[in-house]
Amino acid sequence: MTLRKRVYNTLEFSAIGRRGLSLYINIGLVSIIFLNSVAIILHTVPEIRHNQHYERFFQDFEIFSVVIFTIEYFLRIWSCVENPNITSSWRGRLSYIFSFWAIVDFLGIFPFYFTLLTSDFGIIRILRVFRLFRLFRVTRYSRALKMIRNVLLETKEELLICFSFIIFTLLISSSVMYYLEHNLQPERFKSIPATLWWGVITMTTTGYGDMYPITAAGKFFGGVVLILGIALFALPTGIIASGFMEQIRRDKGRKYIQCPHCNEWVDLQEVKHVHKPEEKE
């Protein structure tokens, strides 16, 4: 097995058969991601942010994290051609660079290097927000989060229909409520866009109390919208729950074998596990 293949198997490990160096490396990466999340949260505390000792620690940890993530980023680009689905080295790497996970990885390290080129504090503050993209990397290592992602992808069409109908209902109900309440409460229901806030808090049964109808027609219509909102928001909940049950049933039925060539655990339902010639560079 070539070094590049070993790097690929280590970084792109399967959910089954995690062991050895691959296990320890990915536990380390997840730990760094988690600690970065804690650092981002703690850095917003004024007492910590304005303390020179803590500030120095955060800077050193940021440099350490970026170095690790940068090395991982380039190793993934270098070894991605070992993916059985990639048939061309340069096209495969180019395709990987513009893939979702590669973009997430890039956005996690890009702000650090860009801030070295500018002294504009406003730009630096905006770029710091991009550090939150490091949190998305956890889904790459967590089987549970992968399941959530798979469920959302498999039910995206049904969810899109539900949310489209919810938005349609929100626009119609807010428009009707505006005409029912505007004359008596012009300071609250001053426009249809402003009334959309009432529609959101009513359909989600939040009810902050800052906007509410006072006319008989408005109260009746508001009650109808509230009940309708409960029913509408139950639809995506049921769709996602059904998707989870289907995903769990499917996972329980999976069987795995260990490949005698690369020792990787392979799902028997997968038909793309092949070994390519190793002359690519």
Buried b (16+ CB within 10 A) or exposed e, 75-97: ebbebbbbeeebeeeeebbeebe
Residue 53 pairs in a beta bridge with none
pLDDT digits (tens, 9 = 90+) for 136-167: 776 666 677 778 888 888 899 999 999 999 99
How many other C-beta atoms lie within 10 A of the C-beta of residue 240?
A: 16
Q: Are residues 104 and 94 in the same domain?
A: yes
Indicate whether this model's pTM tops 0.85: no
| The domain boundary residue, chosen from 96, 116, 141 | 141
Measured distance CA(181)–CA(142) in Å, rounded: 49
pLDDT beyond 70 at 262: no
Q: Containing domain of residue 113, as a range? A: 3-141
What's the CATH number where 223 sits? 1.10.287.70
Q: Are residues 218 and 274 in the same domain?
A: yes
pLDDT beyond 60 at 16: no
Measured distance CA(40)–CA(272) in Å, rounded: 40
pLDDT digits (tens, 9 = 90+) for 75-88: 999 988 888 777 67
Measured distance CA(82)–CA(13) in Å, rounded: 13
Single-letter code of the amino acid located at 142 = S
Average of pLDDT values for 30-57? 85
